């Protein structure tokens, strides 16, 4: 797979899953990856060629696969001659499901399966038959809550079925079953790099996690966004430096990741109720009087 397209599925902040059921005559989607997990079912697609990273196979009339986030994959026409191919795709945020299942014995198999999906999973005909009716129901269901309940039943059924791992190449996928560990890694990285120019993508890339998933997980665990934590850290470091050093305020701002002194002054006052200069004068006087 030479050229990989990064796709951003329309999974809104308040959605857990997004379902697309379509009929088509050919496979024309380019090799791609996306920042959500994917369960994909193909009916009457015999002879099409599926590629998942280093694994290329011709599929049968029925094909069911589960992909983890950012796993490159594609289908092309291959030898398929069907005039009515059905493709049912379910995109979902794996971190949300895994967070709710963490530590619950009944979900152990589901957690294992979702983590294994980082390398791509293929399910046999017996597994497909076990969930076929539920796939039909989830498409017809209009209530989003009921869709989620059905989807959890689908995951549970598949986790109790045999599956085959498609690629053996090393992966760099974060273990979503340990959200506290993810938050700790993020905080440590920011504490060590707050003076550098950092974006959410930079931080997410350091822990090998899609930015959108990190954003959701961090907010769920801490109640604030990654960006808010970064600004909070920079302001705390700047405040400490203004008390403990004689460096110029503009130099302290730059040391703490603020390249624009006006932005630093505005942000500091909004969060500390004092301008940087007033803050320094207030606390330096306090130090002298003690």
What CATH number does the domain containing 42 carry?
2.60.120.280
SS3 (DSSP) at 103 = coil
pLDDT tens across 34-67, in order?
888 999 999 999 999 999 988 899 999 999 999 9
Share of residues in the chain with pLDDT > 90 (%): 56
Same domain, 47 and 89: yes
Question: What pLDDT is attached to residue 106?
Answer: 67
More confident residue, 258 or 243: 258
Share of residues in the chain with pLDDT > 70 (%): 87
pLDDT tens across 277-289, in order?
998 888 765 554 3
pLDDT at residue 177 above 60? no
Cα separation, 5 vs 112, in Å, equals: 28
What CATH number does the domain containing 237 carry?
1.10.10.60
Query: Contact at 8 Å (CB) between 116 and 58?
Result: no
Report how far Cα 111 is from the mean position of its chain's Cα atoms.
Answer: 16
User: Is residue 226 in a domain?
Assistant: yes
Question: What pLDDT is attached to residue 88?
Answer: 97
Strand duo 62-67 + 17-24: pairing: unpaired
pLDDT tens across 245-272, in order?
889 999 999 999 998 999 999 999 998 8
Instruction: Round the average pLDDT of the chain to a whole number and report it.
Output: 86
- pLDDT bracket for residue 155 (50, 70, 90): very high
User: Is residue 171 in a domain?
Assistant: no
Same domain, 108 and 185: no
pLDDT at residue 6 above 80? no
Same domain, 63 and 161: yes
Structural domain ending residue among the three candidates 112, 143, 165: 165
User: Is residue 172 in a domain?
Assistant: no
Same domain, 154 and 185: no
The residues facing 92 across adjacent strands are 17, 37
Mean pLDDT of 194-211: 85
Domain that holds residue 35: 5-165
First to last CA, the chain: 68
Question: What pLDDT is attached to residue 127?
Answer: 95
Same domain, 11 and 114: yes
Provide the domain count of the chain: 2
pLDDT at residue 118 above 70? yes
How far is CA 79 from each of CA 50, 86, 211, rounded to the nearest angstrom?
A: 11, 16, 37
pLDDT at residue 68 above 60? yes
Mean pLDDT of 71-89: 93
Question: What pLDDT is attached to residue 94?
Answer: 82
pLDDT at residue 98 above 80? no
Same domain, 142 and 283: no
Report the helix count and the strand count for the chain, using DSSP H and E: 11, 11
Same domain, 213 and 255: yes
Same domain, 224 and 139: no
User: Is residue 146 in a domain?
Assistant: yes
Choose among 162, 31, 40: nearest CA to 109.
162
- pLDDT bracket for residue 30 (50, 70, 90): confident
pLDDT at residue 174 above 80? no
User: Is residue 174 in a domain?
Assistant: no
User: Is residue 36 in a domain?
Assistant: yes
Same domain, 102 and 62: yes
Question: What pLDDT is attached to residue 206?
Answer: 81
Cα separation, 37 vs 217, in Å, equals: 15
Q: What is the pTM of this model?
A: 0.60
35 DSSP assignment: S
């Amino acid at each position: 797979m030479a050229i990989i397209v990064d796709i951003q599925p329309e999974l809104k902040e308040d959605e857990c899953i997004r379902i697309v059921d379509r009929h088509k005559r050919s496979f024309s989607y380019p090799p791609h990856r996306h920042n959500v997990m994917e369960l994909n079912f193909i009916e009457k697609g015999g002879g099409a060629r599926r590629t998942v990273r280093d694994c290329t196979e011709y599929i049968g009339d029925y094909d069911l696969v589960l992909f983890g986030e950012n796993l490159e994959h594609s289908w092309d026409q291959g030898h398929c001659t069907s005039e009515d191919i059905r493709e049912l795709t379910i995109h979902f945020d794996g971190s949300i499901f895994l967070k709710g299942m963490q530590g619950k014995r009944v979900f152990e198999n589901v957690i294992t399966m979702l983590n294994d999906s980082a390398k791509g999973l293929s399910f046999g005909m017996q597994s497909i038959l076990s969930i076929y009716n539920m796939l039909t129901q989830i498409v017809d269901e209009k209530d989003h809550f009921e869709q989620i309940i059905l989807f959890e039943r689908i995951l549970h059924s598949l986790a109790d079925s045999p599956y085959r791992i498609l690629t053996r190449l090393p992966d760099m996928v974060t273990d979503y079953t340990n959200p506290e560990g993810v938050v700790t890694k993020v905080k440590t990285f920011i504490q060590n790099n707050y003076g550098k120019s950092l974006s959410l993508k930079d931080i997410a890339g350091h822990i090998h996690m899609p930015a959108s998933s990190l954003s959701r997980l961090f907010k769920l665990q801490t109640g604030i966004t990654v960006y808010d934590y970064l600004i909070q850290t920079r302001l705390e470091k700047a405040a400490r430096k203004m008390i403990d050093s004689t460096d110029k305020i503009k130099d302290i701002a730059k040391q703490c990741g603020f390249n624009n002194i006006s932005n630093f002054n505005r942000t500091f006052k909004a969060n500390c109720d004092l301008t940087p200069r007033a803050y320094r004068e207030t606390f330096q006087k306090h130090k002298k009087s003690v």
